[in-house]
Structure 1
Amino acid sequence: MFDPSLFLNPWSMLAGVLLVSSPIIIHLINRIRFKRVQWAAMEFLLKAQKRMKRKLIFQQLLLLLLRILIILFLGLLVGRYTGFDLTGQESRTTVHLVVLDDSPSMADGWRGEDGTPSDAFEEAKRVLTDQIVKAAAEATVPQTMEVYSLSSLTTPHDVGRLTDKSADNLKSHLSQFHPSSVRVSLAEGLKKVKDEFAGRGADVSKVVHVLSDFRATDWTDDGDAIKQAIADLTAAKVKINMVDVAHPYRKKDDRRSPLAHDNLSVLELRPAKLVVARYDPVEFTLRVKNFGNSEMKNVRFTVKVNGDENKGRSVSIPTIPGNQDRTAKFDLTFDRIGTEEKPLDRFSLVTVSLESGEPGGIVADNLRHAVVEVRERLPIMVVEGRPNLRETKEGDGVYMRPVFNGAFGGYAWVDKTTRDLETADLGKYAFVMLLNVPSLTDAAVKNLEQYTKTGGGVGFFLGPDVNANDYNQTLYRDGGGLFPVPLEGKPSKELPEEELQARRFRLSKKILLRDPARRTHPALAGLYTDERGEPLKDAELFERAFWFISIKRHWPVVPVGKWHDDKSVAELYCLPNESPMSDFEAPVRAVTDRIQRVIGDAEFAKYKEAVDKLRDDLRRVVVSSDPLYRLAGLLDDLLSDQRGEGNPTEALLREFWANPKNADLRTEVARLRDRVKYGDPLYVAKEFGRGRVAVVTTTAGEAWSDWPTEKPGAASYRPFVNEMANYLSGAGADENRLVGAPVEIRLDAARYKPSVRRAFMTHDPFKPAARGNATDPAPIVDLKEQPLRAEGDRLVLGFTEAVNPGAYLFTFTNVKPQTATANEAPEAPEYRGVAVNLDAAHEGDLRRVSRDDVSVLAPGVELQSPDDPEWAKAFRNKQSDLSETIWLFLILFLLLVAEQTLAVRLSHHSTGTEVDAIAPSAAAVIHRSTSRVHAGEHEEPTIAG
């Protein structure tokens, strides 16, 4: 509804009325200044004038009206009158809150038509200052603005009331900001402005501007949260304006997803171990993804250690197809360790950066960091169940000790007892190994579990002294403890020498890989891959030694239990099934009968000969006295799903099983094969918290096995133990921390001081400052001390300042218990290093969301584009006034012309003929006077006298 107070000011209204009335007033004044005087000639003229009175009055009134209209239109021109229709115009003060996306993907760059480089973030700043602010500053009602960056929602920039200088001031302020390294959901920004608007009353109009690149991953992963935030803002009567600032610009009527730039991202850099020995090779895994559609070839990366390329290496990936990732592995050795003067030098920063470059995309995801702690040797705690036999041949660790204490082992063997497990600070050990330990106290179990949950590794070799009942109750705890499997009540029976010899010379493997897919498990991967991480051409090379190993006794595992369905538990190696052949006679006959019915179908005639032969062999062997492994071998041949020898029958059988009609039959045969072939588990691994647990169900020494000593089978013992050690010491190394995520470390309040010293180190090869700092390209910056938060019997580090990629280093103070020996210092520093990196998996994917998807999640909100100038005009909050149209000036011009014409006509400037007609006598007098004047002008002057 029209509000007169918006346009009519009392004083200006009064002045306008006086101006409009001025012609009338002047006219009345002119009328009253004349007095009637008796004059015969004039009476004659008045009589003549009366004949034209009606015409003159009309002309005078018309002239008066023209002059009134001229003044009225001049008033409308000066007052910039907009009319009475103010539909859509806001009369209240308007508050603009801007959500400025500064996530890493906003650094997506391109070059304009003139070759000037730009990116989505710069485009967002330009749209804000040149379009939104300038338009809003022209509004007729007050406009205020606050700018919220996603990475710093708690510290908005208050622009204040918008004026004609606001755009330049805001542009100057924003020039110091660039895309951050932190990814924050757009939903968080929308929730923040909703809360801010909640504190504003209904007497203000509310507008939120969202300037973002609208990536598909953001709207897919956070779609529900964004939808809810949009709904909340709409319910609060907040107008939402969304602008997609990514390039290429979004077409106004195109509902599809717009084009996006190609991009290459380094997704992962993972060391095999977080704590390494000096000069000991450490394997790193590099994973890279090509988010573009085009294949990238010969992609090279530079690896630097503490910013020094000479201590690193170069890594090359031959090809990365579009929308796929590739993995490369490489080894590094480290020579820098901590000293008393520089204790943090124990940490080495490994930085991988893209060397070959890319045509577009973002630069920030082209590098990644990892941090490792380097020590002279890695201490490992070893607890033997029979410490009195520690130095003898019958000892449990006698054959394992040389593996770790060798010149190139990199480990320091530390003997401890079960009592030490109750109070020892396990965090300083690379891992803990328990050999034939009978049982553990509750305190020891608690300490072990806490150590493992926080990233430690615990290994078990069982033996004759193990108390299965105690293990099941305290360590397994129905699947809730760190021990992966429940044990049977007693170990396997002791075999007579004759049977042992028969098994030893049996032409079959004595240890079986439970599933070929397990070769990629972290506990086994190093045994089946080369130094580049590629699978060995001969995958069974390592397993050939298993033909010559004899496992005499072991601890059987309860076959049915929760551990089978526990995703954190993996059965890696097992023993062959030694059950009697007769146990499987009925199942084999049932399966072969079903095979016979299927193969009789004419559709499978080409496979009949091969299948019939194996079916007959199965029936013959199952009733024989042959060892069970022969039956398992025939079932392997029938399924042909193991590594074969390349004969034509295998290909034919694979084709037979590939037919969907045989899927159920194949499943039945595979289950029978597994029951026949695989016996009790021998090697089981479990992920427990951030740590790892590995269990071998036989002994580490010769008590139950000749694995460590019997050649050639013993050749596999050292590699196996080494790989087990790498697995346990690498616990926690696969954690991929992201910038912005809080770092939380929980400690025992009784063992640590309630404060921590912090430091930061990084290296960015893409910044000139980093390249030019030859003395220390990766300096360690002190971040001062931080108190720890107390939670019951725990001290908690809650570090929330990890906002830059690199390594954050923490120094805790370990307080020794009162029972410590006199030689031990009362306090000792303990160090932790954490690498944080960009969320490249999300930010590197530059694909953009479609308009249709935005319409679903944000109904009623139109998605704008920077190259469309029309949408910003709505924020001027005013109508075009009459002074902006040509019609007002044209009407005013016509009025002036008409007024002047009529004024001349009515101003008594009459022609001679008009005077003769109206007043002949007066005309005669005028003519005589004029004649005399003209005659005088032509007389010659004379000289008097």
Structure 2
Amino acid sequence: MQFVHPALTWGFLLLLVPVLIHLINMMRRRRVQWAAMQFLLESQKRNQRSVWFKQLLLLLARMAAIALLVAIMAGLTTSDQWSSLFGGGGTHHYVILDDSLSMSDRTGGVEVMDRGREVIKQIAAAAAEKRTPQRLTLLRTSRAGAGDGGVARVDISGDDVDPSFRDSLEEALRSVDSSELSVGPAEAIAAVNRFITDNVENENALVYLVGDFRRRDWSQSQDVKQRLQELSTRTAEVHLVNCSRRNPVNLGITRLAPESATLAAGVPTFLEVTVRNYSDTPANGVQVKLQTYHDDGVDRKFTSAGEGLGTPHSEPTVYFEEIPPGEEVTRRAQIFFPTAGQHVAVAQLPDDAIAADNRRFQILNAPPSIPVLLVDGDLNQRNAYFMTAVFQPGEAVNTGIQPLVVGPQYLRDASLETLQGFDAIYLFDIPRFDGNAVEKLNQYAASGHGVAIFAGPGTTLDALNSLHDGGLLPAAVIGTKELAPSIPGEETVDFVPSEHPIFAVFRGEKNRFRNDLKFYKYYDLDATWNPSDNGAVLGKLRDGRPLIVEQQVGDGSVVTFLTSLTPDWNNWSITPGFIVTALELQAYLASGTRQSTERLVGSPLRLEVDEANFRSDALVYAPGADRMPTVKRDDAFLPKEETRPFRKLDYAGVNNITGDSLTGLSGVYDIWLTQSDGLPNLRRFALNVDPLEGDLTTTDRSELQAALAPVVFTYHTVESVDYSWSASEGFAWQDYLLYALLGLLVVEQILAFLTSYHPPVMGAAR
């Protein structure tokens, strides 16, 4: 037997108060001789034992009431040998440790994770001092659903807190560190809920959430609140232990991507770097070191670890004059890849609170050239002439774009696979579409490619409406229309562009490129078409009619110009602004296939290759200490899909030995496939940390109470020296004692009534 609040046990001395009151009352009585009372004394002697017995019971009842009240306030608990009679069975400590990236905050030279480990040791030390059986389970948030079938993997599973537990805890904590994953506490809380439900033994459950309590995870998380409410229904005590510091200084690289989708070997391009300031003060003079690794074509599949990514090149430092608090700023730097391949770009910030978000990786696939298909319906290929002049202006300027000029019959004869080898397809003045050409164009666009359509004198109404019927044109075409001449003396412009990126050269009120444009004739669309329902208008004429429209098809885009490219219906192709617009159009159309896919740490690596061209084996190289693929991680297998002629790799899950995520590190992952001819084939992936993890804004007690209400919890900070975590141990008697006290008070009132004198009521029957 013991008490949670031993100091209150001095209250048991109050048991003497009823005895003292009884003795004092006896001392106050005086003997008075009165002959008339002799008869009454004889009667009292006959009932004396009964009266004394009732008075003794009343005295004992009052003493017991005081004892029960003191026991309730002091928190009476008993060991398992007694509490088992009522369903109790010791205490089980469930510790949830937040090991997300933000726990690596090292402001002041000590990581928040170090403080979390010390808290766990204090919990174990406090439990070891208890007299009743104690057990402890340790679960990290990153492993709450990381096991087979989504089952949580624990570091300590219900081990007894005995004299040998300290050594086993030290060994377990040596392998516990902050990860680079972005995981909240919801899954871990749900796992503890399942643990408590599945536990057949009757134990008191104490749940500790040890972490940094960043605002993004706790302030608005209804999922976390719901899971904690489920814990409360299981009569589990909840303790929140905050190990964080208040809003340390931290910067993070949130984006690293090429400025243009047009990326090819031998063509200079710009790389954009975006840095966010998560702090409350401005950051001045920030420098980002930029480095590229050029793929030199060396086969590293069968080489030893440590070969790296290729030839390193230091690029110009990206300088940020000032980054305001809470904002992000983008700067760019020019890069150049002389050879084709899968090159790597790495941006690096100086060290601050979080190390992992100071790095950003990007894979830049630079092909030898960018193939585009120009389908010209004009017999003299005049349209292709103007577009080719933009894409290949001469030896002095290399855009990397390689056009192939064909006739309309090419669309009929080419396979979809052949068409998908082009970054974009341009259709000029097509009189008709034979076979399933429109269907193939639809599938081509749906796969993420872009299509540009130019009408003209050779285009027919049937051809344009077949595009509408095939889902490539948002509205039906009703015929050609001439633009009315402008009124002499009035300053008017024929073309009114939208804010679309391909028209950047035409922005500004008095833009000379836009003022030079003249349009005479165009195809008019159905007047009942509503762009808000389907499609979009990218540019209008001065009469308000659409001139350039866009239709989204799957992951791709189809942009239709309802006028000619050649100078038959306008003068656009012979103005200086056309060159810039055509290059921006190409970049926009190719963005669906060239855009950089942002993969976060922990995401699966997925591949799909043609079964006829690849074997089923693969090697996976994960990032090493320098975040480059120097460590052979796994022998992967690409099974064949049943209904499709493809092999598919879905590289995900956890390492069976360590329990860590297979893609839990930021950096570059190399997957080496084997072609049918035995030659290796490299596929590269860049995984980066979640930028949101760089936001280290914390919550406090009041914010947590407001966000989690009505959940009842006890809030701690590591600055507190009080590690008396538990409010209960063994079996808690408070509820039972309260019921006993209520019953005893009723008995006391009855005894008090029976032992007291009650004169007869006046007028009552005798």
> Take 1:809 and 1:461, find their aligned partners in 2: how far apart are those partners?
42
1:704 equivalent to 2:569? Answer yes
Q: Is 1:135–1:876's contact at 8 Å kept on the other side of the alignment?
A: no
Deviation at 1:469, TM superposition (A): 5.8
CA deviation vs aligned residue, 1:512-565 (integer Å, no higher than 9, x gap) = 223xxx1xx44345x47xxxxxxxxx9468x41333333332222345535335
The within-5 A match list for 1:76-115 is 85-86=76-77, 91-111=88-108
The within-5 A match list for 1:722-741 is 722-731=583-592, 733=595, 735-741=597-603
Amino acid aligned to 1:572? L
Q: Which residue of 1 aligns with 2:743?
A: none
CA shift in 2, pair 1:857/1:728, >3 Å: same
Q: Is 2:374–2:405's contact at 8 Å kept on the other side of the alignment?
A: yes
CA deviation vs aligned residue, 1:557-600 (integer Å, no higher than 9, x gap) = 3455353356xx553332221xxxxxxxxxxxxxxxxxxxxxxx
Q: Which residue of 2 aligns with 1:575?
A: 541
Amino acid aligned to 1:682? L
Q: Which residue of 2 aligns with 1:556?
A: 524
> Take 1:510 and 1:470, find their aligned partners in 2: how far apart are those partners?
26
Q: Which residue of 1 aligns with 2:181?
A: 182
Q: Which residue of 1 aligns with 2:722?
A: 870
CA shift in 2, pair 1:788/1:94, >3 Å: farther
Q: Is 1:421–1:447's contact at 8 Å kept on the other side of the alignment?
A: no
Q: Which residue of 2 aligns with 1:488?
A: 477
CA deviation vs aligned residue, 1:460-483 (integer Å, no higher than 9, x gap) = 223345455665566576xxx454
Q: Which residue of 1 aligns with 2:227?
A: 229
Deviation at 1:319, TM superposition (A): 0.7
1:805 equivalent to 2:666? Answer yes
CA shift in 2, pair 1:785/1:137, >3 Å: same
Q: In structure 2, the residue corresponding to 1:397 is in which secondary structure?
A: helix
Q: Which residue of 2 aligns with 1:919?
A: none
Q: Which residue of 2 aligns with 1:534?
A: none
CA shift in 2, pair 1:725/1:413, >3 Å: same
Matching residue within 612, 623, 636 for 1:785? 636
Amino acid aligned to 2:602? G
Deviation at 1:174, TM superposition (A): 2.3
1:140 equivalent to 2:131? Answer yes
> Take 1:410 and 1:125, find their aligned partners in 2: how far apart are those partners?
55
Q: Which residue of 2 aligns with 1:200?
A: 199
Deviation at 1:281, TM superposition (A): 1.9
Q: Which residue of 1 aligns with 2:361?
A: 369
> Take 2:478 and 2:674, find their aligned partners in 1: how far apart are those partners?
44
Q: Which residue of 2 aligns with 1:395?
A: 382
Deviation at 1:373, TM superposition (A): 0.6
1:318 equivalent to 2:321? Answer yes
> Take 1:476 and 1:383, find their aligned partners in 2: how far apart are those partners?
20
Q: Is 2:219–2:703's contact at 8 Å kept on the other side of the alignment?
A: no
Q: Which residue of 1 aligns with 2:190?
A: 191
User: Which consecutive unaligned segments of at least 5 residues does structure 1 have?
Assistant: 3-82, 112-116, 248-258, 338-345, 529-537, 578-678, 771-776, 816-825, 880-945
Structure with more helix by fraction = 1
> Take 2:488 and 2:269, find their aligned partners in 1: how far apart are those partners?
37
> Take 1:778 and 1:860, find their aligned partners in 2: how far apart are those partners?
47
> Take 1:445 and 1:201, find their aligned partners in 2: how far apart are those partners?
65
CA deviation vs aligned residue, 1:290-332 (integer Å, no higher than 9, x gap) = 1111111111111110287644221111111111221212321
Amino acid aligned to 2:364? V
Deviation at 1:790, TM superposition (A): 3.6
Q: In structure 1, the residue corresponding to 2:181 is in which secondary structure?
A: coil
Identity level (%): 22
Q: Is 2:479–2:525's contact at 8 Å kept on the other side of the alignment?
A: no
> Take 1:704 and 1:412, find their aligned partners in 2: how far apart are those partners?
27
CA shift in 2, pair 1:839/1:562, >3 Å: farther
1:857 equivalent to 2:719? Answer no
Amino acid aligned to 2:480? P
1:511 equivalent to 2:495? Answer yes
Q: In structure 1, the residue corresponding to 2:240 is in which secondary structure?
A: strand
CA shift in 2, pair 1:84/1:572, >3 Å: closer
Q: Which residue of 1 aligns with 2:449?
A: 456
CA RMSD across the alignment: 3.8
Amino acid aligned to 2:531? W
Matching residue within 103, 110, 131 for 2:122? 131
Q: Which residue of 2 aligns with 1:843?
A: 693
CA shift in 2, pair 1:874/1:442, >3 Å: farther
Q: Over alpha carbons, which structure has the higher Rg? A: 1
CA shift in 2, pair 1:93/1:544, >3 Å: same
Q: Is 2:629–2:669's contact at 8 Å kept on the other side of the alignment?
A: no
Q: Is 1:137–1:876's contact at 8 Å kept on the other side of the alignment?
A: no
1:329 equivalent to 2:328? Answer no
> Take 2:679 and 2:496, find their aligned partners in 1: how far apart are those partners?
46
Q: In structure 1, the residue corresponding to 2:477 is in which secondary structure?
A: coil
CA shift in 2, pair 1:186/1:690, >3 Å: farther
CA deviation vs aligned residue, 1:710-729 (integer Å, no higher than 9, x gap) = xxxx2122111111111222
Question: TM-score under structure 1 normalisation?
Answer: 0.58
> Take 2:570 and 2:475, find their aligned partners in 1: how far apart are those partners?
22
> Take 2:678 and 2:405, find their aligned partners in 1: how far apart are those partners?
23
1:119 equivalent to 2:111? Answer yes
Q: In structure 1, the residue corresponding to 2:515 is in which secondary structure?
A: helix
Amino acid aligned to 2:522? H
Amino acid aligned to 2:502? A
After TM superposition, the structure 1 stretch with the greater mean CA deviation from structure 2, 869-878 or 731-740, is 869-878
Matching residue within 340, 347, 353 for 1:352? 347
> Take 1:701 and 1:832, find their aligned partners in 2: how far apart are those partners?
42
Q: Is 1:271–1:284's contact at 8 Å kept on the other side of the alignment?
A: yes
> Take 1:84 and 1:294, find their aligned partners in 2: how far apart are those partners?
49
CA shift in 2, pair 1:243/1:453, >3 Å: farther
> Take 1:147 and 1:284, find their aligned partners in 2: how far apart are those partners?
44
1:428 equivalent to 2:421? Answer yes
> Take 2:75 and 2:192, find their aligned partners in 1: how far apart are those partners?
35
Question: TM-score under structure 2 normalisation?
Answer: 0.71
CA shift in 2, pair 1:574/1:85, >3 Å: closer
Deviation at 1:175, TM superposition (A): 2.2
Amino acid aligned to 1:294? T
> Take 2:670 and 2:431, find their aligned partners in 1: how far apart are those partners?
39
CA shift in 2, pair 1:433/1:805, >3 Å: farther
